[in-house]
Chain A
C-alpha cells in the first residue's frame, strides 16, 4: 500500500505563484475598452437627500456616465438576504443606491464611470449633493428607544427578535445556589483582506452574456441573484473568481456594487472595473462583531452548571445585509459551548442604527459567545473559589454523551447537535502542551513592573453543513493526468493542494498528476461556496465521492480488458494491480488510450469522468482550547502576549501545514481584533477609522510566535473523510483567553474585563476607575 497523501505536510502548490507576485487578482484583469467606476458615498450618517446635481461632473472630459437609483429604474431591487432571515428583517434591506435618504456614512449614492479611475474620482468631487441632516442614532440602547427612526416607515429600530428556550431556565434559577448577572460587550471590528473587494464586469452585447471577474465565495448563488436582476438567463452569466487576497467572511457576499458594476457594463456595452479602496472597505464593506450580551448564570455550590439566561443585542447598522440576523443569532446558538447546561433561555434582538451594515467576520458569533461564556465562567470560579480548570472539567460534555443535542438554538433549522468529540481529553492535552501547571504560579504576580496573567478558553465551533451540498467532477485525461473541478471557492485556504491530496488517495494516482480547478460557475453547474469552515467538509467529501466513483469505473473497464472482476483489481499510484500481486497488470495511460480509441470499452463513451455531490445539512463541530500568558504594564495599560497556544481537534487533518497555517493566521487575526482593531464612530455618526493609521491591524512585530497543536482524536461521523472544519478555530477563543488572562493579571487591582478591545486606553480606564472606587 502506497503511503497516503492525506495527513502529509505537503507544501502549498499555489504558494509559488503568490509569493513571486504571479497571482491574478481582480485588479490584474485588463480588458480592451475597459472603463473604471468610482462610487459616490454619503459623508453623512443620517440625512435626507434634497438634490443631486451631476451636471458639472458629467462635463469633465473622459467621464462616460453617472447614474443614481432613478437611472436603474424598475430594475432596482434591494440586496436580498441569503440566510438567517429572521421575520421582520426583510423590512430593512439596502437599496442599490440611496433612495431619498442616506442612513450611514459610506452609503452609495451615485456611480461614476469614466475612462480612468483618476477621472472617475475627479468627477466624484464635482457631484453636488444637497443633504438635510437628521439626528443620528448609533448605540443600541438609544436606538431601542425609537426616538430617532432609521427607517421611519417601519416605526421601530428593533428589526427582529429571535427566542430560544431549552428546558426551564426560570425554575433552574429559582433553585440555584449561585447566580450571577453581567453585561458583556464586543466592539465593532471587521475583516481586512489584503485584497479589497473589486470586480470587472464585461457584457457581450452580441451574445448577451456577462462575464464577471473577482466574484467569489458564493459564485453560483450570486450568479443566480444577478441574473435575475439583469433579467438574463443564468447560463448567460459566467462568474470567475481569479486569485483572491483573503475573504474572512467579508469578501464575496453580495453588496450593491455587485449589482451596479454589471449593470453599468450592460448599459454601456463595455467592460467596467471597480476596485474598492481601503477607505471604502473600512466604511462600506460589512462590519461585524458588535454584540452586547446581558448574561445570567445559575449553578450549584459545587460548580455544576444549571442554566444560562441571556439577552443578546446585535447592532446591525443601517441595513440588514445578506447574512440577515446571523451574527447575533449565531452568538446565541453556541452560547452554551462545550458544557452540559440543561436549561438555556435567550432572546436575540436585531437593532438598526446609523452605522454600516453587519455581516460575518471569521468565526461570526462564536468569537463573541466564547468571550461572554468563558469570562463568566472565570468570574464564577472566583466567586465559588473553584479552580477555573476544574470548573470547566466538571461541566464538559463527556465523550459517551456524544452526539449531544443542545436543542433548537437557530431560527428555523434543525436542532444544534454536537456531532462528536472528546472534550476532556483536548483540555488535558492543552494544559500539558502549554505547561500550564508550571506557569500557574505566575498568575497575578507582579514582576519587573508588570502583572502576569494566564487565561484559557474552551471553544466549540460548528463547521460544514449550513448550505446543503457541494459538487466535484474528476476527469482522467491523456497523459495520464487528472483534472479536478470544484464547486467551492478558494480564498487563500490552499485547496489546490489539499484537494489534490484527497483526490490522489481516493482515486489511487500520484498527486502530481492532479490539477485542481475552481472558482468558475461553468466548471460545476451547482454549488454554494467556501465559508463557515465548510470547504473541506463539503467540497472535500464531494471530491472523495467523485474520485471513488471514477475509480470504480476505471476498475470495471480494466476488468473487462483483463478478464477480471473489478473486485479483484486495485488502483494504486496510477497503476492497476491484480490484488495480491506485485507487478502492475495495466497502466492507466494504456487504459485511457483504450477508451479513447475503441468503441469496445466504456460502452463506446470516450470520457472517463465522474461528478458527485455531497449532501449534508448536519454540522460537524471542531473544538479546542486557547491559552494565553500575558504581562500587563499597569501604568501604561500595554498588554504583551508572552505565549499563545491554540489546541484544536479537527477530526482528521488533511494537511498539517495547512491546518497550522489556518490556526496561526486566525489567532493573529483574533489577537488583532482583541487588542488593536476597532471601528470607532464619533460626532455626527462619522466613522473615524477609515485608514490603517486609525484602524490598526497586527503585524509580525506585534504578536508572538503562535503555537498550534492539531488533534485528530475524534473523526466526525458526518462525512466520509471524518473531517471537521479548520478555518476558524484559531480565532474563536482569542477574545476570551486574552480577556481572562488580563483579568487574572489585574485581579489584585480588582479589574474584571467585560468589554473588548483590550486597548491600553481601555485597560488604563478600568484600572483608574477601580482605584478611584477603592479610594472612596
Chain B
C-alpha cells in the first residue's frame, strides 16, 4: 500500500496553485485534508502524476457571515472548525448538526469542507446538505471565477462540475428563511461511517403550520445525493400527521433506485430511505413549528 510515483508541489498562494492546475490539468490532483485522497493513492486506485498540496493556502480557510444572514465557507476550512463555529451554529444549524456525523473527530481535524464536496462521495453528508440548502459553489482557474448552483454541481458518482484546471475555493449558503425546520437522519454500520442511506429535509411552514415548501434529499442511495421531487410535491399543503408523512415516505421508497453493496441491499436502502424520511420530516416540522415568523 504505497502510492505510485508522483511529483509534489506545495504552492504558497492561490495564483500559484491555479497556474499549476492550468499546467497539469487532468494529470494533477489537489491534496486538501488527504482523508479521502491518501487512501486512494495508497491503494493505487488514484495514480495522479502530480499532487498539488493546497494546505498552505490559508486564505481559503475562512468562515464568514454575510450581512443578509448568508454564510461563506472557504474550501480549506477544516470540518472540525466548521463544527465548532458559533457563526455556523446560529446561522446554519443544519450544517452544524451534520458535521459530527462525518467520520470521527480525528478525521474532521484534517478533512476540509472543500475536500468533502469535491470528492462527492454519494454517501457523504455535506453534498446532501449543500443540495438541500441550495448552496452555491465558487470555483476558480487562471481564467477567472464562476459560481455553480448545487443542483448543477454534483454530476454523478464522485464527479462534480469542477474542471481539471479549477480549484474549489468556497461555498455560499443562502440565509435561512423564517419558519423553516430542518433535519438530518442516517443509518450507518458504525458511528462515524459513511451512511448506508440518509435523508436531509427542510420544511417551510405557513401561518397555520401547513407545509408550503419542502426539500427532501436522499444520500447513500444512488450515484449522487438526489432530491425526491414527487415526495416534495406530496408534502406541499400538508400538516404533520402520520398519514401524510407515511404517504411521503412511501413515495421516497418507490422513487429510489439504489444499488446493493456489502453493507446493504437496494431493497434495504429503499425501505429505510422511506423510514428516515418520515423521521426526518417529523423532526423538521417540530423545529419549524418552534420558529416564529
The CA-CA distance from A768 to B253 in the complex, in Å, is 14
Interface set, chain A 604-648, CB cutoff 8 A to B: 635-638
- Asked, given contacts A121-B44, A689-B262, A760-B268, whether A638 binds B4 with beta carbons under 8 Å apart, the answer is no
Chain A nearest Cβ from B47, distance in angstroms: 9
Chain A nearest Cβ from B40, distance in angstroms: 11
Contact A691 B4 (CB under 8 A): no
Q: Which of A678, A689, A702 has the most CB of B within 10 A?
A: A702
Chain A nearest Cβ from B256, distance in angstroms: 15
Contact A701 B190 (CB under 8 A): yes
The CA-CA distance from A145 to B97 in the complex, in Å, is 54
Chain A nearest Cβ from B44, distance in angstroms: 7
Contact A125 B4 (CB under 8 A): yes
The CA-CA distance from A619 to B255 in the complex, in Å, is 60
Contact A760 B196 (CB under 8 A): yes
Interface set, chain A 665-703, CB cutoff 8 A to B: 676, 678, 680, 688-689, 691, 693-694, 696, 698-699, 701-702
Q: Which A residue sits closest to B275, measured CB to CB?
A: A635
User: With an 8 A cutoff between CB atoms, is B257 at the interface?
Assistant: no
Number of interface residues of B (CB under 8 A): 27
Chain B nearest Cβ from A43, distance in angstroms: 13
Chain A nearest Cβ from B107, distance in angstroms: 12
Contact A277 B272 (CB under 8 A): no
- Asked, given contacts A279-B43, A768-B271, whether A676 binds B189 with beta carbons under 8 Å apart, the answer is yes
The CA-CA distance from A638 to B5 in the complex, in Å, is 43
Candidates A122, A636, A698, A759; contact of B275 at CB < 8 Å? A636
Q: Which A residue sits closest to B260, measured CB to CB?
A: A761
User: With an 8 A cutoff between CB atoms, is B290 at the interface?
Assistant: no
Q: Which of A117, A636, A678 has the most CB of B within 10 A?
A: A636
Contact A701 B272 (CB under 8 A): no
Against A, the Cβ 8 Å flags (1 = close, 0 = not) of B4-45 are 110000000000000000000000000000000001000110
Contact B190 A764 (CB under 8 A): no
Chain A contact-residue range equals 20 to 34
User: With an 8 A cutoff between CB atoms, is B234 at the interface?
Assistant: no
Chain A nearest Cβ from B3, distance in angstroms: 8
| Total A-B residue contacts, Cβ distance less than 8 Å | 73
User: With an 8 A cutoff between CB atoms, is B109 at the interface?
Assistant: no
Chain B nearest Cβ from A351, distance in angstroms: 23
Chain A nearest Cβ from B261, distance in angstroms: 8
Contact A765 B265 (CB under 8 A): yes
The CA-CA distance from A549 to B226 in the complex, in Å, is 76
Contact B187 A676 (CB under 8 A): no
Interface set, chain A 725-776, CB cutoff 8 A to B: 759-761, 764-765, 768
Q: Which B residue sits closest to A678, measured CB to CB?
A: B262
Q: Which B residue sits closest to A635, measured CB to CB?
A: B275
Interface set, chain A 474-515, CB cutoff 8 A to B: none
Against A, the Cβ 8 Å flags (1 = close, 0 = not) of B250-278 are 00000000000111110110011001100
Supplied contacts A121-B2, A638-B187, A759-B263, 9 more A-B pairs, CB within 8 Å: A118-B5, A121-B4, A636-B187, A688-B261, A689-B262, A694-B263, A759-B189, A760-B196, A764-B268
Residues of A within 8 A of B (CB): 117-118, 121-122, 125, 277-279, 635-638, 676, 678, 680, 688-689, 691, 693-694, 696, 698-699, 701-702, 759-761, 764-765, 768
22 A-B contacts (beta carbon < 8 Å): A117-B2, A125-B4, A125-B44, A279-B1, A635-B271, A636-B275, A637-B272, A680-B262, A688-B261, A693-B193, A693-B194, A694-B263, A698-B190, A701-B192, A759-B189, A760-B264, A760-B268, A761-B263, A761-B265, A761-B268, A768-B267, A768-B271
Residues of B within 8 A of A (CB): 1-5, 39, 43-44, 187, 189-194, 196, 261-265, 267-268, 271-272, 275-276
By Cβ-Cβ distance, the 7 closest A-B pairs, closest first, are A277-B1, A701-B191, A635-B275, A118-B2, A761-B264, A680-B262, A761-B268
